[in-house]
Amino acid sequence: MKLMHKQQGMTLAGWLFVFVVGGFAVLCTLKMLPHYLDDMSIGRVLKNLDRPDIGSASPNEIRDLISRGFQVNSIRDIPNDAVKVKRQGGVVNVVINYEKREHLLANIYVVLTFEHNWNTQTK
């Protein structure tokens, strides 16, 4: 019975540790989640390129379709050189590679890299 009486729960230092770790996890989630949501939207923009008329479109027209998709989904901070559209033979290939740096604390940054590849056969 004496052992049950001495067990009273976590100390202040224990609770402080739990709150610091939990706060850091929440901070990371709040900083990185918008970038992952934008990345999912970019994937949907590329999926919407599966159209019957895409085979006859020029690389500039495909780039314009992607740009309009970015505008509709409020994706503004993807650099122009991150989107590469190439037509080689009968294949249209779209590659979107970019990275995001997000400041966490003091001199601590998180670097997120994203890569999308999309291609289709032209008719």
Interval 66-97: pLDDT, tens? 999 999 999 988 988 999 999 888 788 999 99
CA distance 110 to 120: 34
Asked if residue 116 has pLDDT above 80, the reply is yes
Domain presence at residue 86: yes
Domain presence at residue 106: yes
Domain presence at residue 28: no
What are the helix (H) ranges across the chain?
A: 2-6, 12-47, 59-72
Asked if residue 2 has pLDDT above 80, the reply is no
Domain presence at residue 50: yes
Domain presence at residue 89: yes
Domain presence at residue 83: yes
Q: How many CB atoms lie within 10 A of CB 66?
A: 22
CB 110 within 8 A of CB 31: yes
pTM, 2 dp: 0.80
Confidence (pLDDT) at 89: 80
Interval 95-113: pLDDT, tens? 999 999 999 989 999 999 9
Q: Total structural domains in the chain?
A: 1
Domain presence at residue 1: no
Which range of residues forms the domain containing residue 97? 35-121
Domain presence at residue 75: yes
